[in-house]
Amino acid sequence: MSKSLYLLMMLSFMVALGGCNDDEEISIPNSPTYSVKMGGIFPFSGALSSEYGKPLHKSALVAINDLAKAGYSVGWVVADSKSDPEVGVVAARELIEKGKIKVLIGATSSNVTIAIAEQLTIPNQIPQISYISGSYKITNLPADEGQDFLFRLVPSDKLQGTVLAELAFDTGYRRVSSLYIDNPYGQSLNEVFTDHFTALGGTVVANVPHQEILSPEFEGGESYLFELQQANPENSEALIAISYPEHAKVYLREAIDYNLFNQFLFVHGTKGQDIVDTVGHENLEGMCGTAPGGKETDSTELFIESYKREYDDEPTNLYQRHVYDAVVVTGLAAYAAQAIGEEVTPIIIRDYLRRVNDPEVPKVIAGPEGLKRAMKMLDSGLKINYEGASGNVDFDENGDVLTSIEIWCYEGGKIVHKKNVQPDVSD
């Protein structure tokens, strides 16, 4: 087994994840067998590692633990995408071919999610659920047309880009530039923002892409001065930062130090405590951004309680809720099929993903007790409507969910939630 593939086997009750500290592990209840093995793709290294890698995986483990306590144990294998599509594809191939998974939870960045879907999960008929990928290209991905193997638990960037443009315009900006990561995530979000901001009457002075891959000499060697100068700061009132944390920490600092920009707007990729700590809270005070929102539900608090029981701490990243829901929904789908005597195959899991989120029936909630009740209902042949810790988890015909968009701000060195809005993108 390669170093990129790590196993969490329910049979031996152990978490074996390279790079995690012992104090981050959780106990797994005794289970003699499991019916389904899931795989997870996380950015344990690379441009997204600081904000998303270990924190998101810890939430997946909480979900697995809650399912086990409720009476349904699943196998779990994980791999590191390194925030890179080529590496992600190699890692996912090992999960499928060597790990023998029946469903894939991941990935984080849209380009990794799309690459894995096009090259592996769709051709191999393995359902894939992303917990954070927002590119609007995922909604109608040509490779998934008529297949229905690609799902996600965050809204399309078509929604976020619209709200971001309205936020910029309402803030008073009329001339802005964008610096965006040159991958499907950055491209789609930048495109939607630009189109909508222009339609509102604003002007996007410059759209400047930057490469995704960090230089090998990243530590102290990365620079975005060329891109910042291309963004035409003399004619722009603000810079729209559409990137990942490791990139943004560098170019925000450079923009300020070289007096190129001092006003910024952000997205979920540039929403992070690590950014504040690196750039300096005084330089970002009062500046705001957007992110997939969702809403607080009964399941939200139950997830937080489960997380605190395992780690003696609260989750720090909004998308930890989405990862939890992705694992739980998959587990419930597999259990629903098993409860009526179906063989739990990848295609059967796909077919049941929407059956455990039926909005026409009473809701069931997260946590061991809530999931135990859900399983009893499934044992009785009843339908269920799982209410997610992240909010609505009802998949539409494209595998998308429709949720609100959050507006948040950097205030007092912290990330402060302001409100959730539901944009109208019907046109």
Handedness of CA 203, 285, 108, 304 (dihedral sign): negative
Domains and CATH numbers, the chain: 5-155+296-386 (3.40.50.2300), 157-292+404-421 (3.40.50.2300)
- Give tens-digit pLDDT for 207-232: 999 998 876 554 556 899 999 999 99
Phi, psi of 385 (to 5 degrees): -130, 95
What pLDDT score does 51 carry?
83
- Give tens-digit pLDDT for 273-318: 999 999 999 999 999 999 988 778 999 999 999 999 999 999 988 8
Local confidence band at 337 (pLDDT 50, 70, 90 cut-offs): very high
Whether the CB-CB separation of 5 and 98 falls below 8 Å is answered with yes
Q: What Å distances lie between residue 411 and 181, 286, 287, CA to CA?
A: 25, 5, 8
What pLDDT score does 222 carry?
82
Local confidence band at 355 (pLDDT 50, 70, 90 cut-offs): very high
> What are the b/e assignments for 37-68, b being 16+ CB within 10 Å?
bbbbbbbbbbbbbbbbbbbbbbbbbbbbbbbb
Local confidence band at 58 (pLDDT 50, 70, 90 cut-offs): very high
pLDDT for 7 beyond 80: no
pLDDT for 83 beyond 60: yes
| Residues recorded for the chain | 427
DSSP line for 130-196: ESS---GGGTT-GGGTTT--EEESS--HHHHHHHHHHHHHHHT-SEEEEEEESSHHHHHHHHHHHHH
pLDDT for 115 beyond 80: yes
User: How far apart are alpha carbons 88 and 51 in whole angstroms?
Assistant: 18
Pull the structure tokens for residue 279: 């750039």
Reported pTM: 0.87
What pLDDT score does 214 carry?
76
Average pLDDT, the chain: 90
Whether the CB-CB separation of 69 and 29 falls below 8 Å is answered with yes
pLDDT for 11 beyond 60: no
Please, what is the angle between helix 157-171 and helix 184-200, to 10°?
40
User: How far apart are alpha carbons 323 and 54 in whole angstroms?
Assistant: 12
- What is the CB neighbour count within 10 angstroms for residue 414? 10
